């Protein structure tokens, strides 16, 4: 069940840490790929590739300027996460039947036509929200919590869970 | 079941948007209060109060310089979210029996003694992560999804969920 995340309208500096958190969330919760749009930001792309290199898994990241083309060309269903959308709890059953999903996350203003280019506009809470938190809940619901047991292949380092303190293992 | 969030080590500028996302996530998913520590940042406090004023609910936000005193004085159980901790899926059943919970979120480096001042060190995925996403999944698990139907009292504006587009209602 591949999930691809499309991050719209990234702005250098202002969005750097939030977009990085979008990528980390997507990776840890089992997305296949993040596509960044907006201003090109090699720093984020390199830091995410570095995490993959050290921590394993097959997560991909790429930049695409033409986000409308990404949406149009995507073969599966397209889901835009927005506080204005329909409640996730009413639609998740249907969403879970989709095997190939593009999840679209805005930064500041999302162009109005995007709402009409997608199969679902979905809200997590119908209130001002964090797109990182909304993405986490959507993915957690979609994968039914099984994503937390995901195995990241070929890591150089991994963690041994600790009651207190830190335990990092070199593999 | 009151949840309080303690955000450690906030840094002006660098953490401003992420700490705001922590606050938005805490509010929308039903926390009672966020306590900010680190550098004092009136801009975040005012913007969160402004959201409460317009969107309703009884969410509180305050600043406390002495975060160790906040942890020591807290009457309920204390949970530190950290990638190094025990897997949430192994501990959530026990955590859900706790009626009064302090959730501690770090920014950059968390002082080592914090790991030993808490009842739980909990990880969401045992990988590099976003603390915003980890908080969202923890709260979503704790409240069993019921938090998504939360009613925010006395709003000035609210949203009517939309299949496409935006519908804001003045109340």
The confidence score (pLDDT) of residue A143 equals 97
Q: Do A14 and B17 touch (CB under 8 A)?
A: yes
In this structure, are residues A79 and A57 in contact, taking their beta carbons and an 8 Å threshold?
Answer: no
Measure CB to CB from residue A126 to each of B89, B126, B161 and give the nearest one: B161
The confidence score (pLDDT) of residue A17 equals 94
Q: What percent of chain B has pLDDT over 90?
A: 95
Is A89 touching B (CB cutoff 8 A)?
Answer: yes
Q: What is the CATH number of the domain that holds B139?
A: 3.40.1280.10
Name the domain count of chain B: 1
The confidence score (pLDDT) of residue A49 equals 96
Compute the Cα dihedral for B162, A77, B138, B134 and give only its sign: negative
pLDDT tens digits for B5-51?
999 999 998 899 999 999 999 999 999 999 999 999 999 999 999 99
Residue B86 banded pLDDT, cuts 50, 70, 90: very high
In this structure, are residues A10 and A19 in contact, taking their beta carbons and an 8 Å threshold?
Answer: yes
Return the residue of A nearest to B162 by Cα: A85
In this structure, are residues A28 and B127 in contact, taking their beta carbons and an 8 Å threshold?
Answer: yes
In this structure, are residues A114 and A71 in contact, taking their beta carbons and an 8 Å threshold?
Answer: yes
CA separation for the pair A32, A103 (Å, rounded): 11
The confidence score (pLDDT) of residue A10 equals 96
Residue B162 burial (CB count, 10 A): 17
Query: Best mutation site among A131, A132, A150, A156 for testing chain B: the one with the most B CBs within 10 Å?
Result: A132
Return the residue of A nearest to B13 by Cα: A14
How high is the mean pLDDT of chain B?
Answer: 96
pLDDT score of B96 more than 90: yes
The confidence score (pLDDT) of residue A109 equals 87
CA distance A171 to chain B (A): 15
Host domain of residue A140:
3-170
The confidence score (pLDDT) of residue A35 equals 98
Beta-strand runs (E) in chain B: 3-10, 33-38, 60-63, 77-87, 101-105, 120-123, 157-159, 168-170
pLDDT tens digits for A13-47?
899 999 999 999 999 999 999 999 999 999 999 99
pLDDT tens digits for A130-145?
999 999 999 999 999 9
The confidence score (pLDDT) of residue A107 equals 84
Measure CB to CB from residue A127 to each of B17, B28, B135 and give the nearest one: B28
In this structure, are residues A18 and A34 in contact, taking their beta carbons and an 8 Å threshold?
Answer: no
B145 CB burial (10 A radius; 0-12, 13-18, 19+): middle
Residues in chain B within 8 Å Cβ distance of A147: 125
CA distance B12 to chain A (A): 13
The predicted model scores a pTM of 0.98
ipTM of this complex: 0.97
Nearest to A119 by CA among A141, A139, A97, A140: A97
pLDDT score of B1 more than 80: no
CA separation for the pair B116, A163 (Å, rounded): 9
Residue A149 has what DSSP assignment? G
- The residue to which tokens 């930001």 are assigned: A41
């Amino acid at each position: 069940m591949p999930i691809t995340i499309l991050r719209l309208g990234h702005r250098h500096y202002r969005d750097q840490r939030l977009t990085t958190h979008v990528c980390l969330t997507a990776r840890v919760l089992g997305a296949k790929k993040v596509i960044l749009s907006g201003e090109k930001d090699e720093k984020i792309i390199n830091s995410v590739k570095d995490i993959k290199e050290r921590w394993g898994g097959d997560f991909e990241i790429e930049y695409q300027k033409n986000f409308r083309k990404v949406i149009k060309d995507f073969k599966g269903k397209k889901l835009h996460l927005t506080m204005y959308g329909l409640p996730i709890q009413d639609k998740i059953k249907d969403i879970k039947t989709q095997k190939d999903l593009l999840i679209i996350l805005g930064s500041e203003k999302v162009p109005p036509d995007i709402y009409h280019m997608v199969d679902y506009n979905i809200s997590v809470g119908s209130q001002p929200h964090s797109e990182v938190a909304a993405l986490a809940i959507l993915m957690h619901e979609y994968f039914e919590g099984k994503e937390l047991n995901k195995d990241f292949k070929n890591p150089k380092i991994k963690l041994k869970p600790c009651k207190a303190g830190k335990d990092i293992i070199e593999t």
